[in-house]
Chain A
């Protein structure tokens, strides 16, 4: 078990190196001159020259990569070329927001997917099954920015129940914080719900067909007890591990959702930085999120290993 963990940890290093090269390369792909766009509308030639020098833009690309990585290994992710704020500080500022959004979205996803997945499995091939599946799939079939704008129009402008945008720290005002996060969490959670529901359903189906469930039924236990006490626990394991992985997917969806709801999380930070050619910010943030995703992957693998003794050899 320990050996397995160690082996997997070792593969982390080359993966992270590739991630750093990938995100660095992607920034280089972006056309245009970052010094130009960062110099603003006046396009002062002196300023542009100074910016090029500061960002090492005239050096060969491998050298630029070297400078960046040297900084990263020392804990310095550079600073935003647009506002001068250190990237690490920016990340720390946005982290609580993104983490809260991710967890709330996951909660929404679980609330939608678990009941519908279980009901779907228990009442397999009936109208309820079909209905639940269509309902869960609706989430993944809608562009989340469209759903977001629709929700804002309904709940903020028409009904006035929820704020249209913005973020207030939960320590400042928990009520306002939750009110602002409900809609974006729903939009994001909706998308993941489908995948989780599909897996809940299929794993429930598998478990319901096993011997020990048949035994429980034969013993005369009520169906509800069979489902909840015996089937659920075993069915949920793969779903939980999958959930951990989807946490990483949340970042892709979050990019546009945060844009629409003006939630100051990582997604919005990355998008704006891409269009402003603020390389350091994009690279720093993606490196951190990719590392987190890979770690979660590792934890999920390990959890699967722990829960499923048949995988150990």
Chain B
């Protein structure tokens, strides 16, 4: 009898072992399949989520978007702003055992700038050379002061890969070697990405999982179904319509983080000849009327089920770079009609190029209905995304529903869009005064000085309205309520340091 009980107890204990093992794998559902797992070549937002587990960066951002140390312990700008000296950690090794030091930083920065197919060359353009002062001190030399550099180094441009692995492996993305808390195990395209804990991580005590598996599931309904059925522990980009019901379920928690990016409508006012034929593009009174005909909060309510913050600038109202003297305007249909009368076009008609994503389609239909009340005849032209990008680049559009995922530094949200001839300047906006102000903002380091410059830019943007900023979406995460330590950083990337399943 006693032997039997002991045997049963033993068997019961043994059966718990796989459970304990299972609790140490974190399963995360992604909204897309990432592209290349090489920080230098990577081009997608979803890739950044995966990198946060795989690759450490020189610096990181926290919940308030302040710069915090990661691989670098501290940094100092030279007095003229043309050099950034960083002190590095001395206890870091790459996943292949190689030591992380200043030479590795130099290698990586140069790789980012020169590798064929690199997507980081634009972010690091002002960096002319890198000096190794000593194994734990490195200096980046710039050709002009450039404060957005910090934000760039807190993202993929600051990610460090093992120089030895990068040199020996031509297809680095197939087996990346970085220095983050997890190391690469395997990747099956469109199926899963598997990492396991790196035993010699410098902050290993803060890592409470043995493995992490990322599964791309593009359909939000199916992604949520996986969370509900217990196959996933954490999902990103929950559909806004699912939030209300999810909030009532005690099994799950939801994180809502207002993004650093925005959703807006870009107006062609100079990208091509079409701008002159477009009533919206010709006259800024018409643009102002269009803005006044919209109820931003209404759009947020209908298109996003309230899961967004209405905005009118390239940074959210809570940002320290928001121009407080220009708050989000209220809807004023009467004034809109008056402006149109003034402009001599009481019933302007234009085409709104709308990508075939669900969000954009909803926004377009709401905007169409709202603007109609002021006299606008908005025609919706649904366009597949890749095609819309091409048309926008050629200037072959009147207005374009386009979102931007956002960057930690405000420069990343405005320079490429409003400065002359920049790659993302689809509106064709070009004013030398604005360019001068934008350049000034990026060369200053003091927040107050930069804000002054941006406030001036805002004055121009308010009058000319090249982009109608509508709102800032909430990043919506849903996860097993037993998960603690979730850090809600506005860049929308779930971080695994400190994450624990109880």
A contacts B: CB pair < 8 Å? yes
Q: Please state if B226 and A277 are interface contacts (CB–CB under 8 Å).
A: no
Which A residues lie within 8 Å of B118 (CB)? 47
Interface size on B, residues (CB 8 A): 47
Of all chain B residues, the one with the shortest Cβ separation from A97 is: B191
Of all chain A residues, the one with the shortest Cβ separation from B228 is: A157
Q: How far is the CB of B377 from chain A (nearest CB, A)?
A: 26
Q: Please state if B225 and A45 are interface contacts (CB–CB under 8 Å).
A: no
Which B residues lie within 8 Å of A83 (CB)? 35-36, 173, 189
Which B residues lie within 8 Å of A156 (CB)? 225, 229
Q: Does A65 contact B (CB under 8 A)?
A: no
Q: Please state if A165 and B225 are interface contacts (CB–CB under 8 Å).
A: yes
Please encode chain B, from 231 to 258, with 1 for each CB lying within 8 Å of some chain A CB and 0 for all others: 1000000000000000000000000000
Distance in angstroms between the alpha carbons of A45 and B38 in the assembled complex: 19
Q: How far is the CB of B5 from chain A (nearest CB, A)?
A: 31
Give residues of chain B (115-174) contacting chain A, Cβ–Cβ below 8 Å: 116-119, 121-122, 171, 173-174
Contacts A149-B221, A166-B215 hold; do A42 and B390 have CB atoms under 8 A apart? Answer: no
Q: Which residue of the partner chain, among B171, B221, B423, contacts A42 with CB atoms under 8 Å?
A: B423
Distance in angstroms between the alpha carbons of A166 and B42 in the assembled complex: 25
Interface size on A, residues (CB 8 A): 49
Please encode chain A, from 254 to 268, with 1 for each CB lying within 8 Å of some chain B CB and 0 for all others: 000001111010001
Q: Please state if A165 and B222 are interface contacts (CB–CB under 8 Å).
A: yes
Q: Does A41 contact B (CB under 8 A)?
A: yes
Q: Please state if A41 and B45 are interface contacts (CB–CB under 8 Å).
A: yes
Q: Does B460 contact A (CB under 8 A)?
A: no
Distance in angstroms between the alpha carbons of A259 and B190 in the assembled complex: 11
Distance in angstroms between the alpha carbons of A93 and B190 in the assembled complex: 11
Q: Please state if A93 and B188 are interface contacts (CB–CB under 8 Å).
A: yes
Q: Does A50 contact B (CB under 8 A)?
A: yes
Give residues of chain A (127-158) contacting chain B, Cβ–Cβ below 8 Å: 149, 152-153, 156-157
Contacts A83-B36, A84-B173 hold; do A262 and B389 have CB atoms under 8 A apart? Answer: no
Q: How far is the CB of B417 from chain A (nearest CB, A)?
A: 11
Q: Which residue of the partner chain, among A38, A43, A90, contacts B189 with CB atoms under 8 Å?
A: A90
Q: Does B91 contact A (CB under 8 A)?
A: no
Q: How far is the CB of B177 from chain A (nearest CB, A)?
A: 16
Q: Does B386 contact A (CB under 8 A)?
A: yes
Contacts A41-B45, A45-B423, A93-B189 hold; do A276 and B225 have CB atoms under 8 A apart? Answer: no
Q: Please state if A42 and B43 are interface contacts (CB–CB under 8 Å).
A: yes
Which A residues lie within 8 Å of B174 (CB)? 84-85
Which A residues lie within 8 Å of B190 (CB)? 264, 268-269, 272
Distance in angstroms between the alpha carbons of A84 and B34 in the assembled complex: 12
Which B residues lie within 8 Å of A93 (CB)? 188-189
Q: Please state if B217 and A47 are interface contacts (CB–CB under 8 Å).
A: no
Q: Does A14 contact B (CB under 8 A)?
A: no
Give residues of chain A (165-223) contacting chain B, Cβ–Cβ below 8 Å: 165-167
Q: Does B424 contact A (CB under 8 A)?
A: yes
Contacts A83-B35, A156-B229 hold; do A38 and B219 have CB atoms under 8 A apart? Answer: no
Q: Which residue of the partner chain, among B44, B116, B191, B404, contacts A40 with CB atoms under 8 Å?
A: B44
Distance in angstroms between the alpha carbons of A88 and B260 in the assembled complex: 40
Which B residues lie within 8 Å of A39 (CB)? 43, 119
Of all chain A residues, the one with the shortest Cβ separation from B37 is: A83
Q: Please state if B390 and A36 are interface contacts (CB–CB under 8 Å).
A: yes
Give residues of chain B (79-119) contacting chain A, Cβ–Cβ below 8 Å: 116-119
Q: Does A233 contact B (CB under 8 A)?
A: no
Which A residues lie within 8 Å of B222 (CB)? 149, 152, 164-165, 260-262
Please encode chain B, from 17 to 60, with 1 for each CB lying within 8 Å of some chain A CB and 0 for all others: 00000000000000001011010011111000000000000000
Which A residues lie within 8 Å of B385 (CB)? 37, 275
Please encode chain A, from 41 to 81, with 1 for each CB lying within 8 Å of some chain B CB and 0 for all others: 11111110011001000000000000000000000000010
Q: Please state if A44 and B189 are interface contacts (CB–CB under 8 Å).
A: no
Q: Please state if A275 and B122 are interface contacts (CB–CB under 8 Å).
A: no
Distance in angstroms between the alpha carbons of A30 and B5 in the assembled complex: 70
Q: Please state if B117 and A160 are interface contacts (CB–CB under 8 Å).
A: no
Please encode chain A, from 105 to 126, with 1 for each CB lying within 8 Å of some chain B CB and 0 for all others: 0000000000000000000000
Q: Please state if A164 and B43 are interface contacts (CB–CB under 8 Å).
A: no
Distance in angstroms between the alpha carbons of A36 and B174 in the assembled complex: 23
Distance in angstroms between the alpha carbons of A41 and B41 in the assembled complex: 13
Q: Does B305 contact A (CB under 8 A)?
A: no
Q: Please state if B121 and A165 are interface contacts (CB–CB under 8 Å).
A: no
Q: How far is the CB of B110 from chain A (nearest CB, A)?
A: 15
Distance in angstroms between the alpha carbons of A264 and B188 in the assembled complex: 9
Q: Does A309 contact B (CB under 8 A)?
A: no
Distance in angstroms between the alpha carbons of A30 and B387 in the assembled complex: 8
Distance in angstroms between the alpha carbons of A47 and B416 in the assembled complex: 15
Distance in angstroms between the alpha carbons of A290 and B387 in the assembled complex: 27
Contacts A41-B405, A44-B121, A47-B121 hold; do A163 and B423 have CB atoms under 8 A apart? Answer: no
Of all chain B residues, the one with the shortest Cβ separation from A90 is: B189
Q: Does B485 contact A (CB under 8 A)?
A: no
Q: Which residue of the partner chain, among B119, B188, B386, contacts A276 with CB atoms under 8 Å?
A: B386
Contacts A156-B229, A157-B228, A272-B33 hold; do A32 and B119 have CB atoms under 8 A apart? Answer: no
Which A residues lie within 8 Å of B117 (CB)? 47, 50-51, 54
Distance in angstroms between the alpha carbons of A167 and B192 in the assembled complex: 9
Q: Does B384 contact A (CB under 8 A)?
A: yes
Contacts A33-B390, A156-B225, A157-B225 hold; do A262 and B219 have CB atoms under 8 A apart? Answer: yes
Q: Please state if A275 and B384 are interface contacts (CB–CB under 8 Å).
A: yes
Please encode chain A, from 90 to 104, with 1 for each CB lying within 8 Å of some chain B CB and 0 for all others: 100100000000000
Which B residues lie within 8 Å of A37 (CB)? 385-386, 389-390
Q: Does B218 contact A (CB under 8 A)?
A: yes
Which A residues lie within 8 Å of B33 (CB)? 272
Distance in angstroms between the alpha carbons of A83 and B173 in the assembled complex: 8
* Extra 6 A-B pairs, beta carbons < 8 Å, given A40-B35, A43-B424: A36-B386, A40-B44, A44-B122, A44-B423, A82-B35, A164-B222
Contact sample, A vs B, 23 pairs, CB 8 Å cutoff: A31-B390, A32-B386, A34-B386, A36-B386, A36-B393, A39-B119, A40-B35, A41-B45, A42-B416, A43-B424, A54-B117, A80-B189, A82-B35, A83-B35, A84-B36, A84-B173, A85-B174, A85-B189, A157-B228, A164-B225, A262-B217, A262-B218, A275-B386
Across chains A and B, which 8 residue pairs bring their CB atoms closest together, nearest first? A40-B43, A164-B225, A32-B390, A264-B191, A37-B386, A32-B386, A43-B423, A32-B387
